[in-house]
Amino acid sequence: MDDVELVEDAEHDAEHDAEHDAAAPPASTGSAPSATQRHRRRTTRWAAAVAVVGLALAVGTTQLVLDARERTRVARLADVPGVLAPLREDLDVLWRSDEVAGITTATPVDDLLVLATQDGPVLSLAAVDTGSGDPVWSVPVLDLGADADTSAAADASARCAQDAGDDQPATMTCVATATVGQVDIPMAGGTRLSPLTRSVVLHVEQTTGTVLDSVDLGTRTTAVPTADGWTATTPSIPPEELGSVAEHAPCTVTVEARTWTDAESPWTFETAPIEDCVGDLVSTVEDARVFAVAWRGQVTLLDRTTGTVVDEFDLPNSPRASVRLIDGTAAVSWFDDGSYRTTLRTVDGARHDLPPTAQLLDPSADDGSVPGLLIASVSSGAGNSHLARIDPADGTVLWESTVSSTQVQVLDGTLLGSGAGGLAAVDPATGTVRWLRTGTPDGTVYTDGILLLTVSLEAGRIDAYRVTDGEPAWSLLLTGGADGPGVTPAVDETASSRTVQAPTSPDDLWVTAVGNHLALVESDRTVAVLG
């Protein structure tokens, strides 16, 4: 700041100036300013300086508050599944791995990626640092012995769920699975090879990998980890015996809820006979109230605590239906003779059919800022569609928007949509379009809460747009090479405006999220994690 004079005692300065003026020689030309004038000038300079300092402090304070709010927001979004770590314009490869199956199926747990690896007959559970790929811990969890199929070692996988509560040290339940062989399944005109797997359920300390408890499920049972244990599914015909049974042999599947604290299962449920006892026979989804079991032609809703049947959907013309749970309301969707159908089953037991033109969209990221949000893509004919919000209480359409989207995210009270129509931000309360960006590359969309990323393999590029207004932020090209896939800037820094270079992406490249980072996967050869 330039010279600033602060006047603390105006009366003293005025007397001093008067004495100085009396002693000073007269000016040769013109008249000298009076003591009163000089005092006013000093006072004016003092007031201006105070105003400048005050403004600077106000601006600085406001910026600190905004920065603190943004840091808090970014920290909050870091815990939202589907939201990436903050993305930079100089996005580059953080680390690479040739553990393609393990890394791409790994479970993000805080700052770790938890995965399964197989070395010879030994199946291990391991954790690597999400940001660097460096190993953190690795523990052997199962000796496959004679069952080991070393040719399928790369197919080892793990799924984990953090335990509920704030107990320290933090613990999680993991299911590690290895392929141990194949079974020839009788089919019309020949046989079909089906992989035979073996799984183990583990109760593990997050930071050290210490195994607190384990259950070997063998080859007969598969499992999904939950916040308090796991859900096991066991077919009545063991997979290894399928090769010796008649074609299309039916079987039932027992679904069992298990916890680490109870020696006995809280409840079990057995499905009706399922034709073709092959592969993943059932799928399950749960919330605090409802446990849904779906298989070919049937959906059964169970009470989450007791396992008692609360409702059943008989869908004879449909393959396995999908189920989405929203605060106890079950949205059951299936194909019936080529038509997409959805029925809502509300908490009071009532059923409400949605229009056959409405297809529910499952947000790829949802921070919970809009409770009870149910969004559908409604077909309007000729390949056109638009977004609509459905009331989960009775299935009525609350609003319809002009925006056409096939992917949605929900962040900070805003519905973000993407599809062939471009990118858009929509007010979830009214359906009003806050901004719309057309002409964006069609592809998979990711977000870090600050930017929306469109990843187009066809165009071979990544384009970033600001969440706040849809304006372009930066662009990258996907590249291939001897070291594996990577990225390079798509902006000519010497030009006065954005220019687009020709893409050079390899044909066998695909993109996924690894933990909270974007990753490029080149066939079965390598994974490149970006950050």
Pairing verdict, β 407-411 and 365-366:
parallel
Residues forming a β-bridge with 273: none
CB atoms within 10 A of CB 394: 11
Q: Is 467 found in the same domain as 445?
A: no
d(CA 258, CA 308): 15
pLDDT tens digits for the chain (531 residues)?
333 333 344 444 444 444 444 444 444 444 555 666 655 666 666 555 555 556 555 555 555 554 677 677 777 787 888 999 888 888 899 999 988 878 888 999 988 999 999 999 999 999 999 999 999 999 999 999 887 888 888 889 999 999 987 778 899 999 999 998 887 776 666 777 778 889 999 999 999 999 999 999 998 899 999 988 999 999 998 777 777 776 667 889 999 999 998 878 889 999 999 877 776 788 999 988 999 999 988 999 999 999 999 999 998 877 778 999 988 899 999 988 778 889 999 989 999 999 888 999 999 999 999 999 999 999 877 778 899 999 998 999 999 998 999 999 999 999 999 988 899 999 999 999 999 999 888 889 999 999 999 998 888 889 999 999 999 999 988 887 777 888 888 865 433 334 445 555 556 788 899 988 999 988 767 899 998
pTM for the predicted model, two decimal places: 0.79
pLDDT given at position 8: 42
Q: Is 504 found in the same domain as 432?
A: no
Q: Helix, strand or coil for residue 293? A: strand
d(CA 51, CA 4): 12
Q: Is 371 found in the same domain as 247?
A: yes
d(CA 296, CA 245): 20
Omega before residue 371 within 30° of 0, cis: no
Sign, CA torsion 12/14/16/19: negative
Q: Is residue 9 part of a domain?
A: no
Q: Is 316 found in the same domain as 334?
A: yes
CATH number of the CATH domain containing 236: 2.130.10
Sign, CA torsion 212/213/219/225: negative
d(CA 383, CA 400): 17
d(CA 360, CA 369): 19
Q: Is 222 found in the same domain as 157?
A: yes
Domain tally, the chain: 2
Of the candidates 459, 476, 491, which is a domain's last residue? 459
Q: Is residue 173 part of a domain?
A: yes
d(CA 478, CA 485): 7
Q: Is 348 found in the same domain as 243?
A: yes
Q: Is 172 found in the same domain as 304?
A: yes
DSSP symbols for 425-444: EE-TTT--EEEEE-SPPPSE
The pair of three-digit structure tokens given for residue 363, joined into one six-digit string: 């947000």
End-to-end, the C-alpha distance of the chain in Å comes to: 40
Structural domain including 82 reads 57-86+460-530
d(CA 234, CA 220): 6
In our burial notation (b when 16+ CB lie closer than 10 A, e otherwise), range 146-176 reads ebbbeebbbbbbbbbbebeeeeeeebbbbbb
Sequence letter at residue 18: A
Q: Is 449 found in the same domain as 406?
A: yes
Q: Is 507 found in the same domain as 376?
A: no
Give alpha helix (H) positions in 208-304.
Answer: none
Over its C-alpha atoms, the chain yields an Rg (Å, rounded) of 32
Q: Is 205 found in the same domain as 147?
A: yes
The pair of three-digit structure tokens given for residue 75, joined into one six-digit string: 């920290």
Q: Is 126 found in the same domain as 258?
A: yes
Q: Which helix (H) or strand (E) holds 59?
A: helix 35-77
**HEC readout, 178-225:** EEEEEEEEEECCEEEEEEEEEEEEEEEECCCCCEEEEEEEECCCEEEE
